[in-house]
Structure formats: C-alpha cells, structure tokens
C-alpha cells in the first residue's frame, strides 16, 4: 500500500474523549454558516433509483439544491432551513433510508463499489444486524466498517472492522485446524495485484485515480474488471464480479490496523463484523477513555485476535486466527463508461446540483453506488445516459483535471475555514493536473481528506496556503501544486490530520 498520512491519535498519545462525537446525521442536524447540514448514511453506497430520487427531492425541498458526496460514500444536504427536520425524516423514512432512527449515525459501511452480489449481501446483512443490536447503538458516528471483495480498495480506508474476501485456493484450512487454532500467513496477493500496474485494458484501465485515489496501483477498473484484485473466479455477477470471494469461500476479518486477522466462512462475514464491533465497545468501556475508534484504545486494552476468536466461537462462528496478513491494495475506480455498459461518474469536488443528480437517476437502470472516493457508479445505464451525463457537466472520460482533486466545504459554509477552497481549486485545476491526489483544506482539521494513499496537503492560512507544510504565496500556488502533484512521494504527510 502507498504511504498514508498519520492518524490523529498516535499510539504514543493516549486519547481521552470527554464527550460523544459530534458527527451529524439525518436526524441530528449540524448548524453551519450556510444553514443546517444533514448527513444521510448510505450503507455500502447502495441506492435504489427511488431512494436516489428522494434525496434529490430533499435537496430541493429542504436544502440549497445541491448534494455532496462524502469520503465514506454518504450523502450530505446543506443549507437546510431551521425546523425542516421532521419533514426530512419523513421523506427519508418513506424510501427506507431511516430503518432504525436510534442507529442512523452508526450505519457507516463502505464496500467495494465494483463488488459482486456477495458484497451486496454482506452490506444488507450487516446493516440489518447493526440496526437490530441495541449494543451497536453505542458506536460513535466515526466508527467504520469496510466490506472488501478481495481487491483491497476499501480495506485501505482506515476502517475499524475490515472484511476481506479470499478466493478458495487462498483460504486457510479452518475446518481442519480445530477451534481457535492459528493458520499460517495469508498468501501475498498484493504482489500479483500490482504486477501489471499501469497497463491498459479498456475503459477505466491504468492507474486508478478517482477523487482521493493514489498515484499508483490498479490494472483496470472498467466494467467487470478488477483493479488490483487477487485472481479468483467470483461468479456472482455485477460490476467487478471476478475478484475476491467465491460462493462458499472464506473471509478475513481484521480489527483496526493489526498485522493479523481472523478467518471465518463467507456466510458469517456480517455476524463476525458485528461481534468485532461489540468487542471494541467492551474494550472501550473497560478502558474508560470513551474511545470512538479502535486506534484510540490505550495500551492494556488493545483488541486481541485470540480473544476475538473466542468471542466468535461463543457466538457459534467457527474462526481461525491468521497471525500475519499481507493485505492487497487497489486504488479506486476512475471515470469510465462512454463506451461501456456500466458508468463511473465523477462530480467535480464531489458536489452536484439537484439537476445533475436527476440526470444520474434517470440514466441508472435500477441502482446507483456512491463510492468513498466521491464518485457514483451506475452498474447498468440506459443507452442515452453517457451523453446526457457529460452534457450536464459531470465527468465520465478518464484524464479529466478533476480526477483526484478534493476539498472541504470551506467558506462560506464553514465558520472555521480561512478560504473559499472550492473557488481556489476551480481557479487552478486546469493548470495543475498530476498523478498525486490533492486535498484543499480551509483549516488544519483537514475535513474529508483522502485515505489509503499519499496526497498533496494544501491548507489555508491567514496569509495564503501551506503545501505539504511549506508556506506558498498565492501567486505561486499553481506552479508549486503542479510540481508537487508530479512528484512521487517517498514519505507520509508530516502534518497531523483530523481523524
């Protein structure tokens, strides 16, 4: 995996939370400078056409007429009027987007957006289990589940609980090893995944570079292809059906960023993920530091794979500890679809007008998938869809200067921001294309920054910007940014970033 920026919580610096997290939801709105903000959780990014249409209606009826895609594949509505909460909740509930009001902020599930039907089943089952668990309601709004089909895309997003699909030929012999036994190290599928990096294989081939992607890795990410995936014979159909778990296969479940994992049957993936989350809650209670995420657990309360195995088996899930795993890595899908059946659409800066959103809804044949890289995948699209999408100002063809460019809200929506970062990004985007992702931040919190990759770190200051920690005069910004995006990093971002 490419280098990543450090987490806000170093293992050498114990974290003590004196309050619950302040993450907004669809019911708990956040007061911003441009009105109230709602964040609608979309588990796995999976939306029916009816649900997507309702979100567009909500943006027009209650908000500023725009929808924002988040770095966890959720949808934000901004500019909401005071007193709109009940009407918004009624609209969302009517299309199944609020199945459990008490759990609406904990349904943070990212999933391989080009995964097959088994990934969709994992998402649906985990969401059902979360909503049915009274204990899960205690999770923070920042706790993250990742359901990865085996290619290593969402597994790279700093999740708290990761499920990774494994082809049958790579799965350990859990049934023969005996309860709680250790399996050997997991095979290195990353070496095969990256062996052909940079080759071309049709639409979406080459380096994956959607918003927030890395500058290397991935073979192809067009329809049905599997960027960075281990070879396997997945037969579930749907986008990217080739990699990862095959029916009846095994999966790895990892807690936090530990070196090892636990192997369980694919049919137990969702239940095992919930057991892992409940184990975290027990550890956080014992630690007494009100940790929001696994990385914040102090020494003496770290999650232990052997204890995880014990808890799984107590829940009726056969599990095998894998003490060392070499995790695969794949960058996100880049825009494609002008000559293919499926589409991967990039809205510049992850923001769409309701009119643009309706174009996507009308183009989709059945479903849409919002990705954690602020793109939208249409697994099936109507024939006239690509032309209408491009005419609306959204990006379908690879090579756009908007690839891998992200930004926080900035002024005027955020009181903490020191700049209108979106306007500044638009002013120089055509001059500053490059391989490395860039994130524009209005303040040192760096909200919405990329995960799973090295990135160019632009932070507004009272005097202009810093670029990877170095002050840059506004007049020199375009040239400095172009040079930075053209450089392959060898180290992580030095500045601490918000978790």
pLDDT, tens digit, 9 for 90 and up, residues 17-59: 756 788 999 999 999 888 999 999 999 999 999 999 999 999 9
Contact 226, 114 (CB under 8 A): yes
For residue 472, give both structure tokens. 């840059």
pLDDT, tens digit, 9 for 90 and up, residues 245-280: 444 589 999 999 988 999 999 999 999 999 999 999
**Residue 65: its pLDDT value, please?**
97
pLDDT category of residue 473 using cuts at 50, 70 and 90? confident
Residue 150 confidence (pLDDT) above 50: yes
Determine the Cα–Cα distance for residues 17 and 295; give it in Å rounded to an integer: 13
Residue 361 confidence (pLDDT) above 90: yes
Mean pLDDT of the region 335-344: 77
b/e map of 157-189 (b: 16 or more CB within 10 Å)? bbbbbbbbbbbeebbbebeebeeeebbeebbeb
**Residue 432: its pLDDT value, please?**
87
Identify the residue with better confidence: 407 or 294.
294
Mean pLDDT of the region 115-128: 96
pLDDT, tens digit, 9 for 90 and up, residues 397-415: 888 888 888 889 888 888 8
For residue 158, give both structure tokens. 């700093």
Q: Are strands 464-467 and 456-461 parallel, antiparallel or unpaired?
A: antiparallel
Determine the Cα–Cα distance for residues 149 and 245; give it in Å rounded to an integer: 6
Mean pLDDT of the region 94-123: 96
**Residue 9: its pLDDT value, please?**
42
Q: Is 264 helix (H, G, I), strand (E, B) or coil?
A: strand
Determine the Cα–Cα distance for residues 245 and 26; give it in Å rounded to an integer: 33
**Residue 240: its pLDDT value, please?**
43
**Residue 204: its pLDDT value, please?**
30
Mean pLDDT of the region 444-469: 89
Mean pLDDT of the region 466-472: 93
pLDDT, tens digit, 9 for 90 and up, residues 431-455: 887 888 999 899 998 988 887 778 9
- Helix, strand, coil shares of the chain as percentages rounded to 5? 30, 20, 55
Percent of the chain with pLDDT over 70: 77
**Residue 431: its pLDDT value, please?**
87
**Residue 399: its pLDDT value, please?**
85
For residue 124, give both structure tokens. 């649906």
pLDDT, tens digit, 9 for 90 and up, residues 414-431: 888 999 888 888 889 888
Identify the residue with better confidence: 499 or 401.
401
pLDDT category of residue 167 using cuts at 50, 70 and 90? low
pLDDT category of residue 372 using cuts at 50, 70 and 90? very high
**Residue 34: its pLDDT value, please?**
87
pLDDT category of residue 242 using cuts at 50, 70 and 90? very low
Mean pLDDT of the region 231-256: 57
Q: What letter does residue 292 receive in the DSSP assignment?
A: S
**Residue 16: its pLDDT value, please?**
64
Identify the residue with better confidence: 404 or 202.
404
Query: Which of 108-112, 143-147, 244-248, 268-272 is the least confident region?
Result: 244-248
Burial class (CB in 10 A: 0-12, 13-18, 19+), 252: buried
pLDDT category of residue 489 using cuts at 50, 70 and 90? low
Mean pLDDT of the region 103-128: 96
Residue 234 confidence (pLDDT) above 50: no
For residue 258, give both structure tokens. 């530990």
Mean pLDDT of the region 146-175: 82
Residue 125 confidence (pLDDT) above 80: yes
Which range scores top for mean pLDDT: 176-190, 333-347, 355-369? 355-369
């Amino acid at each position: 995996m490419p280098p990543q920026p450090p987490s806000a919580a170093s293992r050498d610096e114990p974290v003590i939370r004196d309050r619950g997290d302040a993450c907004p939801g669809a019911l708990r709105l956040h007061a911003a400078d441009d009105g109230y903000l709602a964040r609608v959780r979309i588990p796995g990014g999976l939306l029916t056409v009816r649900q997507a249409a309702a979100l567009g209606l909500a943006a027009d009826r209650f908000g500023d007429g725009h929808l924002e895609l988040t770095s966890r594949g959720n949808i934000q509505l901004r500019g909401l009027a005071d007193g709109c909460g009940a009407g918004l909740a009624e609209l969302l509930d009517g299309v199944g987007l609020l199945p459990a009001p008490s759990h609406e902020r904990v349904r943070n599930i990212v999933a391989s957006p080009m995964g097959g039907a088994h990934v969709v089943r994992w998402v649906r089952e985990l969401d059902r289990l979360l909503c049915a668990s009274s204990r899960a309601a205690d999770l923070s709004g920042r706790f993250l589940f990742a359901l990865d089909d085996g290619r290593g895309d969402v597994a790279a997003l700093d999740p708290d609980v990761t499920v990774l699909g494994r082809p049958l030929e790579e799965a350990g012999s859990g049934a023969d090893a005996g309860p709680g036994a250790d399996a050997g190290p997991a095979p290195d599928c990353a070496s095969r995944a990256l062996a052909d990096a940079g080759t071309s294989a049709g639409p979406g081939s080459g380096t994956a570079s959607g918003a927030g992607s890395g500058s290397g890795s991935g073979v192809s990410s067009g329809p049905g292809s599997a960027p960075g995936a281990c070879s396997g014979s997945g037969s579930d159909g749907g986008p990217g059906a080739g990699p990862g778990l095959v029916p009846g296969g095994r999966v790895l479940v990892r807690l936090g960023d530990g070196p090892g994992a636990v192997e369980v049957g694919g049919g137990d993936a969702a239940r095992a993920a919930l057991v892992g989350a409940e184990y975290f809650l027990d550890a956080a209670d014992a630690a007494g530091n009100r940790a929001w995420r696994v990385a914040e657990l102090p020494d003496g309360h770290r999650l232990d794979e052997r204890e995880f195995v014990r808890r799984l088996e107590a829940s009726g899930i056969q599990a095998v500890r894998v003490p060392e795993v070499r995790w695969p890595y794949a960058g996100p899908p880049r825009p494609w679809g002008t000559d293919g059946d499926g589409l991967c659409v990039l809205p510049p800066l992850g923001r769409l007008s309701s009119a643009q959103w309706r174009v996507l809804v009308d183009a989709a044949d059945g479903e849409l998938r919002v990705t954690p890289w602020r793109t939208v995948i249409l697994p099936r699209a109507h024939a006239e869809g690509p032309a209408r999408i491009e005419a609306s100002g959204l990006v379908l063809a690879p090579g756009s200067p908007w690839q891998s460019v992200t930004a926080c809200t900035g002024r005027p929506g955020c009181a903490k921001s020191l700049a209108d970062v979106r306007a500044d990004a638009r002013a120089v985007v055509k001059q500053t294309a490059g391989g490395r992702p860039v994130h524009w931040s209005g303040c040192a919190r760096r909200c919405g920054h990329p995960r799973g990759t090295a990135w160019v770190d632009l932070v507004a200051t009272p005097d202009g910007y810093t670029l990877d920690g170095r002050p840059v005069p506004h007049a020199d910004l375009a040239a400095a940014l172009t040079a930075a995006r053209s450089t392959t990093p060898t180290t992580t971002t030095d500045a601490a970033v918000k978790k």
